[in-house]
Amino acid sequence: MDTMGAAALGWRLAVAVVAIAGPTVLYLGLWRFLERLRDDALIERLVARGAVDRPRPAAADVLAAAMSGVDGRRCPACGTVAVAGEAECRGCRRPIEGGE
């Protein structure tokens, strides 16, 4: 302990930083990668063809809603609460006024 040099201390600090921050960086990288893989147009085509059921709100939608919140708008047709910035109803796919 008393003879630990600056190089050894620096190495241990570097290992600690990698061990602490590494899993978080990897998780965020995986999240971004999965968002890039997401293909809404393909899902819409498959739903229109009847090949798959319309997906429930995806995890990315839930996260976006949690981060941006709801802004009080509701779908005029079915009454589904709109997420901030949402241009299309999640329930019936009709356009909602005030979306981006």
Among residues 80 and 84, whose Cβ is nearest to Zn ion? Answer: 80
Residue spans of alpha helices (H) in 38-76: 40-49, 59-68
Among residues 35 and 71, whose Cβ is nearest to Zn ion? Answer: 71
- The pair phi, psi for residue 95, each rounded to 5°, is -65, 145
Binding mask 25-64 vs Zn ion (x if CB under 5 A, - otherwise)?
Answer: ----------------------------------------
Q: By CB under 5 A, is residue 92 in contact with Zn ion?
A: yes
Give the CA distances from residue 71 to residues 7, 61, 67, 85, 86, in Å, rounded to whole numbers and listed in that order: 54, 15, 12, 9, 10
Q: Which residues of this chain interact with Zn ion, rule CB under 5 A?
A: 75, 77-78, 80, 89, 91-92
